[in-house]
Chain A
Amino acid sequence: MFETGLWRFGGFADPSSDMQRLRREMDRIFTDFGQTAAREMPPVNAWIGESEAVVCAELPGVDPSAIDISVVGDTLTISGSREAEPLKEGESYHRQERSAGKFSRSLQLPFHVDADKVDAKYDKGVVVITLPRSEAEKPKRISVKNQ
């Protein structure tokens, strides 16, 4: 699992551990719920900056119009489906390793997102979602005055 999946960078413990906790929680809720969604599909990478976050997911061969991205508060949801290559008569699979079907994934960000300014791009099979932090939540600098 650790070979392929999770690798974290040091010095940024808070958001990642919080996100991981929530992810587990979400997975638990969804899996308990029945056949709602596949687990942890697709895998995501997240970059966090002061005023925005970027979430990337690899979804090769998916029609961009079949990817549904929604943001509620500080939770991002990516869902959609991927179609298998249809077989014509007389054709057969020699090997079938690529998975097809529905996917759904939720992720909690360390801040609330300005949903109107969310931007999603799909290029070379990778979806890149830019999530600006909501104005109300941006850190405000308070100057200290000398008395």
Chain B
Amino acid sequence: MKNMTEYEKNPVQGPSAAEHTKSRRVYIPRVDIIDTKAAVVLYADMPGVDEGSVDVTIEKNVLNISGTVKPPEFQGMSIAYAEYGVGDYDRSFTISDDIDRGNVEALVRNGVLKLVLHKAPEAAVRKITVRAQ
């Protein structure tokens, strides 16, 4: 088994499309996108979010995922050492027309958001039989 590499969180560079009212760090979640025959499955690493703090929206052909994270606080302790930042997540994707907008499943488990974007039935692969004339 190979070792895990690349884990650094990527902060959003410059002003993001949506204006934020909070002065908090925003990170780009790392994603895996898997294309299955019937759907497109997206996994996003968003540690610190739960089902109540993650938002998924589709507007026209833009899919946006965002999540808010409450930075941890421990009473009577001060942060002595920090290698990663804690902040919100935000990322947008362009989706193709063959995704059925009304049939999207979203699940959050162990800080990973899973989206199942079902393909519209008419976009599913159809085999056309060729007949001899």
Q: Do A and B come from one complex?
A: yes
Chain A positions within 8 Å of B, measured between CB atoms, are 3-9, 12, 15-16, 19-20, 35, 37-38, 40-50, 52-54, 56, 58-64, 81-82, 84-85, 87-88, 90-103, 110, 122, 124-126, 128
CA–CA, A14 to B110, complex, Å? 34
Q: 30 A-B contacts, Cβ less than 8 Å apart?
A: A40-B83, A41-B3, A42-B7, A43-B83, A44-B81, A45-B79, A45-B82, A45-B83, A45-B86, A46-B79, A46-B82, A49-B74, A49-B77, A58-B84, A60-B45, A60-B46, A61-B109, A62-B110, A63-B110, A82-B4, A90-B37, A93-B32, A98-B30, A100-B4, A102-B3, A124-B49, A124-B50, A125-B48, A126-B47, A126-B48
Hey, which chain B residues are within 8 Å of A103, CB to CB? 3-4
A11 to chain B: closest residue by CB: B78
Give min CB distance, B35 to chain A, whole Å. Answer: 5
Contact B45 A98 (CB under 8 A): yes
Partner of B4, one of A16, A35, A41: A41
**In the assembled complex, how far is the CB of residue A78 from the closest CB belonging to chain B, in whole angstroms?**
12
Chain A residues lying within 8 Å of B50, measured Cβ to Cβ, are 124
Distance between Cα atoms of A71 and B3 in the complex (Å): 22
Which residues in B have some Cβ–Cβ distance to A below 8 Å? 1-11, 30-37, 40-41, 43, 45-50, 72, 74, 76-86, 109-112
Task: Report the bound CA distance from A5 to B2 in whole Å.
Answer: 23
Give, as a whole number of angstroms, the nearest-CB distance from B63 to chain A.
13
A95 to B33, CA, bound (A): 5
Main secondary structure of the interface of A (DSSP, over half): loop
In the bound complex, do residue A54 and residue B74 qualify as a contact, i.e. CB atoms below 8 Å apart?
yes
Are B36 and A5 closer than 8 Å at their CB atoms?
Answer: no
Q: Nearest chain A CB to B98's CB is how many angstroms away?
A: 14
Whether B47 and A124, one on each chain, are in contact in the complex, defined by CB atoms closer than 8 angstroms, is yes
C-alpha spacing A122/B111, complex, angstroms: 10
Of all chain B residues, the one with the shortest Cβ separation from A4 is B8
CA distance A46 to B77 in the complex (A): 10
Query: With A38-B5, A43-B8, A124-B48 given, is the CB distance from A16 to B30 under 8 Å?
Result: no
CA distance A53 to B78 in the complex (A): 9
CB pair B47 A91 closer than 8 Å: no
Give Cα A43–Cα B83 distance, bound, in whole angstroms.
5
* Contact across chains for A98 and B33 when beta carbons are under 8 A apart: no
Residue of B nearest to A12 (CB): B80
